[in-house]
Structure 1
C-alpha cells in the first residue's frame, strides 16, 4: 500500500505544478499547498512506520537476534545489581540539580538530548539563570528584558494573525496546522524538541546566535572618535559569536545617519544604568549631595535634535574657594562647578556651572546643552571611566 502511494505521488505533484498559482482562486491555491504539506508529512510518517516495522519484524522472525537481545539485557541487569550502578535520574533532586548547575551551556544542551526528563530539567529557567547572569549580566538590563518581552509579544501576535488569515487559517480548527508549522519551522523535528519562546534558555541562545538586538550603552562610540571620548551613548547591539564582539547601531545624530559600528569589545559595553531614554531629560536626585571630588555623569547633547549621551566629570571647587578641605564651603553654595579634566584648561568644554536649587537643561547652541546628573557611588563605574581616559589631553 505504501509503495503504491509513493508511486502515485509524482503524478500528483506534476498535476499540481502544471496549474499556475495565479490562475487559481485563493482557496484553491491554499488547498494545493495544504495537499503538498499533507503528502510530505504522510511520506515521513510512512518511512518512519516502515523503519519500525522492519526493526520489529527482524526481532520477531529472527530467533538468534531476539535471544541475543535478551541475553544482553539480562547481562546488563546482572552487572547493575553486582556493581551497584545507577541512573543519573536515580540521584536525589538536590544532587542532580547541583550536577546540572556545574554544566556549561553546551553541556546542558547535550545533556538535554538524552531523554525527555533530562530535557525538561536542562531547559528549566533556574538552571539557565546563572549562565544568563554570568555571561550577559554586565550588558543586559531592565531595558533589554522589556525589549525581549515586547519581541515575544509581537512575534506571537504575528503568528496569531497569520493563522487567522485566509482559507488555510480557517481550517485550523479541523486540521493540525500547528503540527505542520512545527515541521516547517524546526526542520522536521518533533514539536516537543522546540524551545518555549519565553524560556531563559531561548533568550540566552537568541543573544548568543545574534538573533536578538537589545538596548545597551557604548563607551567612546564610533571606534573611539575624538569627539566622543569619555562619553557613553545608547545603542541597539547584537552579539557576534565568531569574533566575540558586538555590532552597535546608534540612533541618528541630528540629521546624520550613523553606520553600524562593528567589533565593539566587551569592555566598551554596559547596561543602561537608568531607564531614561536618550531623548529625555533625566530627573536629578543627587544635587544636594554633590561635593568637590565627587565623580559624576551628566547628560549632554550638541543641540535639541541630538540624543543625549552620558559624559564623565568630577565636581570641582568654585573660583572663590580656597580649596582647603577644612575651610571649603562649596557644598553650601547654590552653584556647582563641574570639571571635565580630559580637556585643556583653556578649552570651553573644561568647566560648566549648574544651579543646585533649580537645575534644568542648561546651555546654548554653541556649547551644547547639559541635562540630568548621576552621582557615581560604585568604584567599578569610576574605574571603568579612568580605564578609558585618553592618552592625550583633548582640545
Structure 2
C-alpha cells in the first residue's frame, strides 16, 4: 500500500474531482479518477516542487475557499525531504499548512503520519491490533515516519533526514540507532519485535513503504508458503482436490517465490541508490506481494466444518443491519465478484470510520487496503476452472458451502 493508492481510494469513495498538485508521473496513476474538463471540487497536494508556485497554489486556494464541501487532501505531510545533494529541501507539508491556514480546511492525510494509513498497512500484512506492541517503525524522519499515534515501537535512525536533536521530537521513542543495519544487528535478537515497517532511508525516499516480517525475535529474510489447516480434498465436493492442490502448491508458491525475488532485487537496488530499479520493481512487489497476502487470507476463509459456514453473533447482526439478510449479502457479493472484468477478488470488508460492512472488488492481485478484509473470494480462473469451467455463478454459489464465517466473525470483532 502506498500514499498514492490510499489517496486514490479516498477520492473514488467520496466521488471527488480534485486538482492534482502532483508530479506528472504520479498523475498518471489517477487516470480515470478525475476529469480536468469539469470543475474541480477538491485539491490533492503531494511532493511536486514544480507545482509549488503562486499560480498553482492560488488556484488551489480558490477551489477550497469557494466550495464549502471541498476537501484538502495530502499524500503525506512531510516538512522536508533529503535531496540529491544530501541536504534538506521543503516537502509538501509547509504548502499544505499554508492552504490550511488560508482556507480553514483541515487536510485529510492519506500517507504518513496518518493513523489510518498505518492501520491499513498493518491490516494488509495480517497484523492484529492486539499485536501492535510487537510492531516497530524504523525511520529517519522524527515527525513524518514516527509521528503516528499508535502503541507501537518507534525506532529513529541517524541517517538521511535525521538532524541532531530530532529524538526529542518523537513522542514515545523506543530507541535511537546509528543506522538500520545497526538496529538489526544489535536489537532484533533480544527484542519482541515481530513486524517491522521500514521507510526507505536514502535518496529514494519517495519509494513506497516496504515491510519485513520477523519471527521469534530473529530476522526471517524470506516469505514462505503457509500450510493449510485442512487437506487438499477436505473441501470436496464444493472445491475439488485438484484445484486446491494446484492453487496452493503451485500458484500461491509462485507468488511467494516472486515476492522473495523482487524483495531481494529491491534490497540490492536500495543499497546501490538505484532509484530507477526501485521504481521498476514496484509492479512485481505489488503483484506478488498482493498475491501472497490475498491467498494467505483466502485459505483461512475456507473450512470443511459446515458448522462454521453461517454467521453468528455481532457479525450476523451487522450483516442484517447493512444488507437485510445473509442471503442478500451473498447475492450482492456474488454479483459484484462475477462482474469483475478479467481476474480479481471480491471482498466483504469493514469500514471502521463509517462503522458498516461494505462489498468491494480489487483487480488482479491488488489487496484490499481501504477496508478491513473479513473474507475474500478469488475469481481468478485457477480458483475454479478445472471444476466449474467458465460458469462463474456455479463456483460462487458453491464456495459459500465452505466459507468460514466464524473466522470472518473473529476478524470483525477484532476490527471494532
TM norm structure 2: 0.23
Higher RCO (C-alpha 8 Å, min separation 6): 2
Q: Which structure: larger Rg? A: 1
